[in-house]
């Protein structure tokens, strides 16, 4: 009788640092052996601004997938969200924290943004924000909607 092996994984698995910080973007962690299908180590960072003031800045490290390795950003003008997931593919290569992309240079793109109900102000996009967006959202607990406009990365627009 012959057997087929449909699922084949590498003989040795990747080792990455693993940690999470709820109070800062930096953390040091334990060493984790990744699942065979996790082919990358990552260092991630989430940074949320409200009126140019950092509201949240957290980070971590873990095993990851290549499709998660990217930078996403959305900029509403008064607030912005930046998610960075930097990856590498060798053992323990994620020892450093993810870079801070919040001080990115202007991308050259300008989009409309909203100030209250008026959505005709212009916003200078930053970093890899080359796309304008417009969305309408329901305001929770109220029977009304609001429009939001601004800049975003291509990945943010495609995954929305």
Distance between CA 14 and CA 93 in Å, rounded? 10
Q: List the domain boundaries for the chain.
A: 15-159
Q: Is there a contact between 128 and 107 (Cβ–Cβ < 8 Å)?
A: yes
pTM of the model: 0.79
pLDDT tens digits, residue range 78-136? 899 999 999 999 999 999 888 887 778 899 999 999 988 899 999 999 999 999 999 88
Residues 6+ apart with CB under 8 A from 30: 17, 18, 19
- Kind and range of the H or E element at 120? strand 118-126
Which CATH number describes the domain made up of 15-159? 2.10.60.10
- pLDDT interval class at 160 (50, 70, 90): low
What residues are paired with 129 via a beta bridge? 153
């Amino acid at each position: 009788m012959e057997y087929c092996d449909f699922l084949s994984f590498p003989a040795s698995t990747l080792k990455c640092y693993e940690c999470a910080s709820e109070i800062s973007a930096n953390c040091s962690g334990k060493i984790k052996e990744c699942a065979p299908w996790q082919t990358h180590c990552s260092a991630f960072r989430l940074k949320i601004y409200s009126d140019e003031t950092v509201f949240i800045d957290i980070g971590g490290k873990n095993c990851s997938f290549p499709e998660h390795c990217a930078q996403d950003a959305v900029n509403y003008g008064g607030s912005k969200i930046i998610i960075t997931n930097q990856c590498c593919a060798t053992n323990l290569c994620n020892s450093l924290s993810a870079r801070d992309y919040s001080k990115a240079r202007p991308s050259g793109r300008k989009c409309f943004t909203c100030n209250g109900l008026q959505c005709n102000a212009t916003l200078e996009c930053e970093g890899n924000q080359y796309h304008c967006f417009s969305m309408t959202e329901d305001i929770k607990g109220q029977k009304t909607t609001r429009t939001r406009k601004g800049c975003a990365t291509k990945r943010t627009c495609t995954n929305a």
